[in-house]
Amino acid sequence: EVQLVESGGGLVQPGGSLRLSCAASGFTFSNYWMTWVRQAPGKGLEWMANINQDGSENFYLDSVKGRFTISRDNAKNSLYLQMNSLRADDTAVYYCARDVLRFLKWHTDFDLWGRGTLVTVSS
């Protein structure tokens, strides 16, 4: 089955760190750009970061640049998000998602999403 499964969320104190993982299965993970998107409770979606197929290129939302690091291990079919210096406004469900190649063009949409993992930043 083609799927993404996030893990690693939980309750963390402000200033703390957390590492999220996303396990991919059912497709050739190393062929795809991957991304992290979050959704604060009752709010809209917010793109966080993405990474290319071999991990040599990535982009970040300004508000997380320097605090969050996206990475991947293609041998383990896994995507990661290292989150440091967490703040209350980082509280959200974090989704990993697959970028899709359409008509030889990347970055048209995210066609596969995980179910998300909840991160709560609170003292």
Partner 1 sequence: AIQLTQSPSSLSASVGDRVTITCRASQGITNTIAWYQQKPGKAPKVLIYDVSNLETGVPSRFSGSGSGTEFTLTISSLQPEDFATYHCQQFNSYPLTFGGGTKVEI
DSSP states of 22-89 as a string?
EEEESS-GGGS-EEEEEE-TTS-EEEEEEE-TTSS-EEE-GGGBTTEEEEEEGGGTEEEEEE-S--GG
Residue 111 near partner 1 by CB under 8 A? yes
Residue 36 near partner 1 by CB under 8 A? no
The binder of partner 1 chosen from 25, 28, 108, 122 (CB under 8 A): 108
Min dist. Cβ of residue 63 to partner 1 (A): 9
Write the Ramachandran bin of 56: left for phi over 0, alpha for psi from -120 to 50, otherwise beta: alpha
Residue 47 near partner 1 by CB under 8 A? yes
Residue 50 near partner 1 by CB under 8 A? yes
Q: Which residues bind partner 1 (CB under 8 A)?
A: 35, 44-47, 50, 59-62, 95, 97, 100, 102, 107-111, 113-116
